[in-house]
Amino acid sequence: MATPETLVKYASINTAMEIINSGTLRWSSPELFNEPWAVRFNPELSFDHHTVSKAMLRAATAMIFTRDLPAGNLDHPLYKAIRRWRGEDRFHDENEAYEALSELLAPTPETLRGKLEKMICQWQALVETARVICFSENHRELRCWEKYADNYRGVALRFARRNAFANPEPVDYTTTRPNLTTVKEQVDDLVGIRAAEKPASFTSRFLMKPRSDAQEKEWRCIRIMNEEDLDCGEDIEDWYMDEPFHPQDLEAVYLGFRMSEYDRETFSQLIRSAYPSVTIYQSRPQEDQYELDFQKIS
């Protein structure tokens, strides 16, 4: 996917006025996003360590007797043991193997509980210190005008993709809901088939949305901050920062076609005064298509 040369921020007229007056854009923790399908700060796992432990015992037992052993990590202790037991015909049947593994791996549930608790703590630290800003790749998306720009009463601000916005990442629109982890992932890790995802890659959860939102064509810039650089406390509502943008990064503004005459004139005057090099466009609905036209007015 080609990275767009510019990024567009849709906003209500009030938010747009704040952006222009302050010369800042808000970067927020993902916890502040209004996304009901996202992984929350306090993730609710649909399983516990006992569930994973039992599933692991069943999987390991099945691996001993399956015709074709799944590919795995040859250096993983349990995977190595399973390969050896298969070669030795160590167990007569699955019941015998399950009982032996249950005794051999008895400490696993408590170890796993600590592992899951640590994972949740690492996720919470990431959510608390991550700051994300959201854009669309163009100014023509009707869904964005409706959802983020007060149903065409607001504004679309076009920024150059440089400085703080130089490395945006595309949102992945999928039918698979994001989870912090799954039973299968933990089982595969325990039996040596595939290592569980490392915390460093947890930021991928910040880039997942349902396929029904694909029209938004969203891109996100993510910054992981040091705690000492964040001016906020434990109140989740304060997990954001308003960061200045370079004046030359703002290239154009697009006015919604349902914006009031007062707001149009007030905002246009503000742009001309604060950012005289910025081009102003007025949107117009096409007569025979669900599309917008834009006319340069300044």
**What is the C-alpha separation between 273 and 60, in angstroms, rounded?**
70
- Pairing type for strands 208-210 and 172-174 reads parallel
Coil, strand, or helix at residue 207?
helix
Q: Do the beta carbons of residue 50 and residue 82 sit within 8 Å? A: no
Say yes or no: 145 and 263 in one domain: yes
User: pLDDT tens-digit profile of 215-264?
Assistant: 999 999 999 999 878 877 778 999 999 999 999 999 999 999 999 999 99
Calculate mean pLDDT across residues 98-102.
94
The answer to whether residue 126 scores a pLDDT higher than 90 is: yes
For range 124-130, the mean pLDDT:
95
3-state SS class at 4: coil
pLDDT of residue 7: 98
pLDDT at 232: 77
Residues 181 and 249 in one domain: yes
Do 245 and 98 belong to one domain? no
| Mean pLDDT of the 275-287 span | 97
| Co-location of 55 and 27 in the same domain | no
> In b/e form, how buried is each residue of 194-229, taking b as 16+ CB within 10 angstroms?
eeeeeeeebbebbbbbeeeeeebbbbbbbeeeeeee
**Mean of per-residue pLDDT scores for the chain:** 95
Whether 38 is in a domain gets the answer no
- Regarding whether 110 and 141 lie in a shared domain, the answer is no
Q: Is the pLDDT of residue 108 over 90?
A: no
Q: Strands 240-244, 172-174: parallel, antiparallel or unpaired by DSSP?
A: unpaired
Q: How many CA atoms lie within 13 A of 12 on its CB side?
A: 4
Which one-letter DSSP state was computed for residue 202? G
**In whole angstroms, what is the distance from residue 200 CA to residue 270 CA?**
42
Instruction: Clarify whether residues 235 and 146 are in a common domain.
Output: yes
- Region 164-188: what's the mean pLDDT? 95
Task: Match 């954001």 to its residue by tokens.
Answer: 240
Do residues 28 and 129 make contact, with C-beta atoms less than 8 angstroms apart? no
pLDDT, average across residues 51-61: 96
Residue at 36 is within a domain: no
Indicate the residue among 68, 96, 119 that finishes a domain. Answer: 119
Q: Let me know whether 90 and 178 are in one domain.
A: no
Question: Rounded mean pLDDT of 146-155?
Answer: 98
3-state helix, strand, coil in the chain (%, to 5): 45, 20, 35
Residues 136 and 103 reside in one and the same domain: no
Please tell me the total count of domains within the chain.
2
Of the ranges 98-112, 124-138, 221-235, the best mean pLDDT one: 124-138
75 and 141: one domain? no
Question: Does residue 227 lie in a domain region?
Answer: yes
- Please check the confidence at residue 1 and state whether its pLDDT lies above 90: no
Last residue of a domain, one of 64, 88, 119: 119
Q: What is the pLDDT of residue 19?
A: 98
Q: Residues 105, 216: one domain?
A: no
Q: What value does the mean pLDDT take over residues 119-133?
A: 96
In-domain check, residue 25: yes
* pLDDT for residue 233: 76
Bridge partners of 281, per DSSP, are 254, 296
CA distance 154 to 145: 8
Residue 152 near residue 145, CB atoms below 8 Å: yes
Same domain, 156 and 55: no
User: Is residue 113 a part of any domain in this protein?
Assistant: yes
Taking the CA atoms of the chain, what radius of gyration do you get in angstroms?
26
Q: Do 201 and 140 reside in the same domain of the chain?
A: yes
- Which of 65-74, 87-96, 108-117, 232-241 has the least mean pLDDT? 232-241
Q: Which domain holds residue 152?
A: 6-31+131-190+197-296
Is there a domain that residue 143 lies in?
yes
Examine residue 75 and state whether it is found in any structural domain, yes or no: yes
Q: Is the residue at 37 inside a domain? A: no
pLDDT of 291 higher than 90: yes
Indicate the residue among 119, 143, 173 that finishes a domain. Answer: 119
